[in-house]
Amino acid sequence: MSVVNFSITDALARNIGKAIKELGFSSRAEFFRAAAIHFIAEQTKHLTPEERMDVLSDALDEVVRRKFKGKKLPSLEEQLADI
């Protein structure tokens, strides 16, 4: 998982703190993750379901390739053997 650091104004930090309490977020990180997800969803809401699936599939493919580059993944049966 990547780490992102940035500065915000004190006034924005107070408003975010209020939103975190009112909306039940467990942390600032959770709040910003939700905000990013919401922003991305808003940017793609004009797409058809098929186009959205393509965007999500491409993003998932990129993450899997980056994370598991050069590694052999266990079969699905091996991954689910504990269940």
pLDDT value, residue 29: 93
pLDDT value, residue 67: 83
Tracing tokens 């990129």 back to the chain, one arrives at 62
φ, ψ dihedrals at 39, nearest 5°: -60, -45
Task: Render pLDDT for 18-52 as a digit per residue (tens, 0 to 9).
Answer: 999 999 999 999 999 999 989 988 888 899 989 98
φ, ψ dihedrals at 33, nearest 5°: -60, -45
Taken in order 13, 28, 40, 2, the sign of the CA dihedral is: positive
How far, in Å, CA of 55 to CA of 60, rounded?
9
How far, in Å, CA of 77 to CA of 66, rounded?
23
Summarize the confidence of residues 75-83 as an average pLDDT: 89
pLDDT greater than 80 at residue 1:
no
pTM: 0.56
pLDDT value, residue 74: 83
